[in-house]
Amino acid sequence: MTFNAQSPISFKTSVLRLPRKGVPVSIVADEEQRAALSAEHGLLSVERLSAELLVVPWKSDGVRVTGRVEAEIQQACVATLEPIGASIRENIDAIFIPEGSSLAKRVADPSGEFLLDPDGPDAPELFVGDMLDVGAVAEEFFALAIDPYPRSRAAPALPVAPDDGEAAKPVSPFAILRNLKPGG
């Protein structure tokens, strides 16, 4: 997968001559950028979004982006559609390598299997050219932190199977629907 995304909070950083201590990047989304983010991610609004990042060299020609993205958003409840406020505070730690880098070559298992450790670090992502859009990186972590199914406290409770020893017996979805029917 190649990482060259376009983002409403785009902030391209040159990775050719990064200092050893890295380059700090601070992003604060303006009103237009927040409106574009809310439209792109299906939100009612993005009240505030900021990111504090550090772009440092990684190994011979890679780049590591660390930091944090914070936001205040409004979403619609999946049950009642009423607005729900949410806070996002997501840590960022991502590694990128240029497309032609020797670091991009993966050593395959002789059996042809690709082994991943689910608790291990993510594999580095590829990028093209000498610029990396760290704004797009911040947006990616922002998007991953959004609750896909927000529910307000006023939303009706989900039907729950009875806990009287019948837990071993599966509950038919049609039985639950029958109970929701008026007079059923």
Residue 3 lies in a domain: no
Asked if residue 68 lies in contact with residue 89, where contact means CB atoms within 8 angstroms, the answer is yes
pLDDT at 139: 96
Residue 92 lies in a domain: yes
Residue 174 lies in a domain: no
Q: In Å, how far are 6, 124, 132, 152, 182 from 10, measured between CA atoms?
A: 7, 20, 10, 32, 52
Residue 104 lies in a domain: yes
Residue 136 lies in a domain: yes
The number of distinct structural domains making up the chain is: 1
Q: In Å, how far are 79, 93, 100, 147, 151 from 125, measured between CA atoms?
A: 37, 12, 12, 24, 34
Instruction: Provide the whole-model pTM.
Output: 0.76
Residue 2 lies in a domain: no
Domain with 61 in it: 12-157
pLDDT at 51: 97
Residue 86 lies in a domain: yes
Asked if residue 63 lies in contact with residue 91, where contact means CB atoms within 8 angstroms, the answer is no
Residue 103 lies in a domain: yes
Residue 20 DSSP code: T
Spell out the per-residue pLDDT of the chain, length 184, in tens: 344 458 999 999 998 889 999 999 999 999 999 999 999 999 999 999 999 999 999 988 899 999 999 999 999 998 888 999 999 999 999 999 988 777 666 544 456 566 666 777 777 888 888 899 999 999 999 999 999 999 888 777 766 656 665 556 677 777 777 777 676 5
